[in-house]
């Protein structure tokens, strides 16, 4: 406690302003206290819009203000929470604006679990709460796989393992490798793009996201939220196979199925050739067995029928005999009935015959025949009568004609003799002649000719042809 | 190979045939016809299994996973 009379021994020149004093402290602290590691529990954590983190680090006896700027957070995968025990590397400083002593945190990591492990746990909780791991969203693997999309690096053993397994198990499946970096800065984003491309290609029946084993850091891309959401968004079933059996990533939780290794993923995606062969053999055996059963079934039926055949035959014989018997009886009956009817029929026929128009027709025909004969003889008679008449007439006609001819011939002879006396020809023989013109006009007058007229003169024994040279009238 | 045998189709056809035969009620002719088909399918499936050749293609990020090229298995 200060006494009023207590005399302070100080130089007024040495009075500091607040800010000067803070500056003094600031440099004193920064120069004297090195960057060091502290362990404590986080409280009053806040992260304003700037993205910087502010919190208190405390233990049971005390606490200290801490600030961790965004730049320093780059390598921090988890987000500090109140109550979290952390180990941090920090440099003490003085926040002169408020005069607060505080730590500028360069690095922070959870105590017990690693930084990444903590982040992993945090993401896991977050995405699980969002439902990204829910069984209801898990797509089942297709029964038939023709094309498998593998999202992995073309380098390294992973793809070779997958190829080897598939070649052995199920060579039908075409493999499409969506080549992608699987670790390092930006790999999560690239993987997400590759998954998107594989899904959207629509060619793959199933996708395998694969990476070989590695440290948590190596595998970190598979824990990133971006990739988890890309996996969740696929419409193609996707199998995650990251790292070794003990490595589990967020991707494993989101994927439709998790395989402990890439080879295992290839096995999950496809049926086994050997299993298929076994299945084929089984099917074939069933086929053969069923066919044999069917055959023996029909054989049995056949045998049964064969067995039944003798008694059936006996039965048949009885029927046949009976039939014969009935047949004979029927035959007899028929014959009797037939005979009876035949007799009646004959009687009727005879009766019918008597009344038959044929009889009267025959009679009429006979009459007709008779009439015909009579007519014929009458006609013949008449004809020969007429022929006789005709012949008589002809004879008398001939006779009369001959007679007449003879008379005429006689007459003619007579006239001819007379005519002979009168013929000029007789005159000619006595020295007379007849002259004619060329037109046979007998000349009886000189006027009938002119000088130069050609004339012919008939004598008794020939003809003279002459030309008129002179005409004299008497 | 336009007439490539589809293993999965063949297998499911074979399964159908065996199922039908197991249900019975087939005439002798039908049974024998199916048996013959089944035997042929079995042989075809077995051949396909032993002769199937793996096809592997690589798609790369460089062109946005557009073009594909064959991948050498031994690389």
Q: What is the pLDDT of residues A184-229, one digit of tens each?
A: 888 999 999 999 999 999 899 999 999 988 887 788 889 888 999 9
Instruction: Please tell me whether residue B44 adopts helix, strand or coil conformation.
Output: helix
Identify the three-state secondary structure at position A366: helix
Report d(CA A370, CA A291) in Å as an integer.
97
Q: Out of A166, A283, A295, whose CB is closest to B54? A: A166
**Is B42 in Cβ contact with A276 (below 8 Å)?**
no
A103 and A148 share a domain? no
Over pLDDT 70: what percentage of chain B? Answer: 89
Q: Do B61 and A287 touch (CB under 8 A)?
A: no
| Domain match, A128 and A249 both | yes
A88 shares its domain with A128: no
Highest-confidence segment of A204-208, A335-339, A358-362, A439-443: A204-208
Provide, as residue numbers in chain B, all residues whose Cβ is less than 8 Å from the Cβ of A299.
Answer: none
| Contact assessment for residue A206 and residue A220, using Cβ atoms and an 8 Å cutoff | no
Do A31 and A162 lie in a common domain? no
Within this chain, do residues A108 and A176 fall inside the same structural domain, yes or no? no
A400 assigned to some structural domain: no
Q: Which of A190, A247, A259, A181 is nearest to A216 (CA)?
A: A247
Nearest CA in chain B to A159: B73
- Length of chain A in residues, anyone? 474
The chain A residue lying nearest B6, using CA atoms, is A172
Q: What is the pLDDT of residue A257?
A: 92
At A227 the pLDDT is 92
Domain that holds residue A250: 119-135+144-274
How many angstroms away from the CA of A177 is the closest CA of chain B? 5
CB-based contact (8 Å) between A276 and chain B? Answer: yes
Of A274, A305, A324, which residue is a domain's last?
A274
CA distance A209 to chain B (A): 14
pLDDT on residue A296: 86
* Cβ within 8 Å of residue A58, ≥6 positions away: A40, A41, A43, A64
pLDDT score of A7: 62
- Give the H/E segment covering residue A175: strand A174-179
A317 domain-assigned: no
Does A152 lie in the same domain as A101?
Answer: no
Mean pLDDT of A165-182: 89
Interface with chain B: mutation pick from A294, A295, A299, highest number of B CBs within 10 Å: A294
Tell me the average pLDDT of chain A.
86
Same domain, A75 and A128: no
| Neighboring chain B residues of A277 at a CB cutoff of 8 Å | 46, 49
Judgement on whether residues A99 and A126 belong to the same structural domain of the protein: no
Question: Is A174 in contact with B14 (Cβ distance < 8 A)?
Answer: no
Give the pLDDT band (50/70/90) at residue A6. Answer: low
Residues A129 and A268 grouped into a single domain: yes
Q: Provide the terminal-to-terminal Cα distance of chain A, rounded to the nearest Å.
A: 241
The residue to which tokens 């004339």 are assigned:
A455
Backbone phi, psi, residue A232, to 5°: -60, -35
A92 vs A244, which has greater pLDDT? A92
Tell me the average pLDDT across A165-189: 89
Mind telling me how many Å the CA of B75 is from chain A's nearest CA?
8
Interface of B with A (CB under 8 A): 7-8, 11, 14-15, 17-18, 21-22, 24, 26, 28, 31-32, 34-35, 38-39, 42, 45-46, 48-49, 52-61, 64-65, 68, 71, 73, 75
The whole-number average pLDDT for the span A431-449 is: 85
Whether the pLDDT of residue B73 is over 90: the answer is no
Interchain pair A174, B56: CB under 8 A: yes
Residue A272 near chain B (CB below 8 Å): no
pLDDT on residue B1: 38
Of the residues A283, A288, A296, the best mutation for testing chain B's interface (the one with the most B CB atoms within 10 Å of its CB) is A283
Report how far apart the first and last C-alpha atoms of chain B are (Å, whole number): 27
What span, in angstroms and rounded, lies between the C-alpha atoms of A350 and A342? 12
Pairwise CA distance, residues A456 & A460, whole Å: 13
Of B11, B38, B57, Cβ closest to residue A177 = B57
pLDDT band at residue A102, thresholds of 50, 70 and 90?
very high
Cα gap A393→A391, rounded to integer Å: 5
pLDDT at position A354 is 75
A189 → chain B, closest CA residue: B61
Q: Average the pLDDT over each of A18-27, A103-112, A230-239, A353-362 and give the range with the smallest value.
A: A353-362
Looking at beta carbons, which residues of chain B come within 8 Å of A163? 54, 56, 73
A309 within a domain of the structure (yes/no): no
- The b/e string for A225-234 (b: 16+ C-beta within 10 A; e otherwise) is eebbebbbeb
Residues A127 and A250 in one domain: yes
- pLDDT (tens digit, 9 = 90+) per residue, A103-159? 999 999 888 666 677 778 888 888 889 888 888 889 988 888 889 999 999 888 899
Mark yes or no for CB contact A291/B35 under 8 Å.
yes
Decide if A282 is inside a domain.
no
pLDDT at A469 over 80: yes
Note whether A287 contacts B38, CB cutoff 8 Å: yes
Report the residue count for chain B: 75
What per-residue confidence (pLDDT) applies to A168? 86
pLDDT score for A91: 92
pTM: 0.53
Residue B44, min C-alpha distance to chain A (Å): 10
Are the beta carbons of B56 and A163 separated by less than 8 Å? Answer: yes
Q: Is residue A187 part of a domain?
A: yes
A41 by Cβ neighbours in 10 Å (0-12 / 13-18 / 19+) ranks as middle
H or E stretch including A457? strand A454-458
User: Residue A231 has what pLDDT?
Assistant: 93
Of residues B11, B39, B57, nearest to A287 (C-beta): B39
Domain termination site, one of A274, A302, A335: A274
Q: Is the pLDDT of residue A471 over 50?
A: yes
| A77/A224 Cα distance (integer angstroms) | 9
User: Mean pLDDT over residues A390-415, rounded?
Assistant: 90
- Quick check: helix, strand or coil at residue A71? helix
Q: For residue range A22-71, list pLDDT tens digits in order.
A: 999 999 998 898 899 999 888 899 999 898 999 999 888 889 999 999 98
Please give, rounded to a whole number of angstroms, the shortest distance from the CA of A269 to a CA of chain B: 15
Do the domain assignments include residue A301? Answer: no
Q: Is the model's pLDDT at A240 over the cut of 80?
A: yes
A63 touches chain B (CB under 8 A): no
Report the alpha-carbon distance of residue A321 to residue A309 in Å, rounded: 18
Q: Is residue B75 very low, low, confident or very high in pLDDT (cuts 50, 70, 90)?
A: very low
Domain contains A310: no
Sorted by sequence, the CB contacts under 8 Å of residue A40 that are 6+ apart come out as A57, A58, A59, A63, A64, A85, A86, A88
Which residues are A107's β-sheet partners? A89
What pLDDT is attached to residue B72?
A: 66
Better-predicted residue by pLDDT, A8 or A408: A408
- From chain B, the residues in CB contact with A193 under 8 A are 61
Please tell me the least confidently modeled range out of A57-61, A228-232, A342-346, A400-404.
A342-346
Residues 6+ away with beta carbon under 8 Å from A198? A149, A151, A176, A178, A204, A207, A236, B65
Chain segment A295-337, per-residue pLDDT in tens: 888 888 888 877 777 776 777 777 788 888 888 887 888 888 8
Q: How far is A123 from chain B (nearest CA, A)?
A: 28
The last residue of one of the domains, among A226, A255, A274, is A274
What's the pLDDT at A299? Answer: 86
The interface predicted TM-score of the complex, written ipTM, equals: 0.78
Mean pLDDT of B34-39: 87
- Would A312 be classed as within a structural domain? no
Residues A250 and A206 in one domain: yes
Distance from CA of B31 to the nearest CA of A (A): 6
Tell me, yes or no, whether A148 and A264 share the same domain: yes
Tell me which of A236 and A443 has the higher pLDDT: A236
pLDDT of the residue at A115: 65
Q: Write the residue in A144, A180, A277 that is nearest to B8 by C-beta.
A: A144
Lowest mean pLDDT segment, chosen from A5-14, A61-70, A235-244, A429-438: A5-14
Q: Please report, rounded to a whole number, the percentage of residues in chain A having pLDDT higher than 70.
A: 96
């Amino acid at each position: 406690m200060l006494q009023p009379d207590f005399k302070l021994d100080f130089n007024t020149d040495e009075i500091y302003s607040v800010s000067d004093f803070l500056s003094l402290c600031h440099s004193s602290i920064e120069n004297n206290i090195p960057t060091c590691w502290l362990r404590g529990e986080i409280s009053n954590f806040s992260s304003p819009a700037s993205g910087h983190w502010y919190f208190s680090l405390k233990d049971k006896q005390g606490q200290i203000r801490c600030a961790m700027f965004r730049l320093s957070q780059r390598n921090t995968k988890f987000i500090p929470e109140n109550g979290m025990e952390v180990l941090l590397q920090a440099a003490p400083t003085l926040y002169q604006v408020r005069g607060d002593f505080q730590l500028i945190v360069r690095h922070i990591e959870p105590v017990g679990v690693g930084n990444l492990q903590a982040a992993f746990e945090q993401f896991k909780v977050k995405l699980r709460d969002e439902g990204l791991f829910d069984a209801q969203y898990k797509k089942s693997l297709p029964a038939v796989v023709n094309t498998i999309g593998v999202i992995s690096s073309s380098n390294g053993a992973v793809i070779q393992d997958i190829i080897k397994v598939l070649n052995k198990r199920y060579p039908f499946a075409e493999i499409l490798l969506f080549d992608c970096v699987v670790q390092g800065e930006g790999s999560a984003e690239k993987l997400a793009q590759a998954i998107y491309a594989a899904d959207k290609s629509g060619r793959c029946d199933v996708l395998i996201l694969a990476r070989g084993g590695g440290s948590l850091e190596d595998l970190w891309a598979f824990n990133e939220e971006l990739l988890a959401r890309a996996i969740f968004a696929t419409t193609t079933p996707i199998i995650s196979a990251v790292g070794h059996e003990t490595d589990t990533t967020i991707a494993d939780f989101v994927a439709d199925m998790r395989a402990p290794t890439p080879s295992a993923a290839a096995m999950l995606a496809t049926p086994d050739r050997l299993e298929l062969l076994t299945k084929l053999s089984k099917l074939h055996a069933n086929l053969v067995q069923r066919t044999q059963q069917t055959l023996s079934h029909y054989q049995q039926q056949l045998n049964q029928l064969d067995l039944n055949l003798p008694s059936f035959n006996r039965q048949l014989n009885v029927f046949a005999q009976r039939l014969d018997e009935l047949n004979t009886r029927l035959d007899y009956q028929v014959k009797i009935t037939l005979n009876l009817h035949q007799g009646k029929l004959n009687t009727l026929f005879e009766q019918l015959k008597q009344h038959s128009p044929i009889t009267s027709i025959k009679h009429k025909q006979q009459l007709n025949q008779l009439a015909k004969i009579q007519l014929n003889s009458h006609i013949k008679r008449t004809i020969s009568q007429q022929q006789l008449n005709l012949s008589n007439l002809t004879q008398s006609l001939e006779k009369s004609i001959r007679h007449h001819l003879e008379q005429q011939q006689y007459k003619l002879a007579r006239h001819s003799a007379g005519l002979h006396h009168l013929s000029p020809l007789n005159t000619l023989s006595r020295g007379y002649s007849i002259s004619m013109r060329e037109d046979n006009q007998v000349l009886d007058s000189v006027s009938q000719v002119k000088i130069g007229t050609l004339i012919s003169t008939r004598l008794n024994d020939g003809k003279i042809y002459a030309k008129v040279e002179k005409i004299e009238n008497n | 190979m336009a007439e490539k045998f589809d293993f999965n189709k063949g297998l499911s056809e074979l399964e159908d045939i065996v199922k039908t035969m197991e249900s019975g009620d087939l005439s002798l002719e039908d049974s024998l016809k199916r048996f013959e088909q089944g035997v042929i399918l079995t042989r075809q499936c077995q051949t396909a299994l032993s002769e199937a050749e793996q096809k592997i293609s690589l798609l790369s990020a460089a062109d946005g996973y557009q073009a594909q090229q064959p991948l050498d298995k031994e690389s």
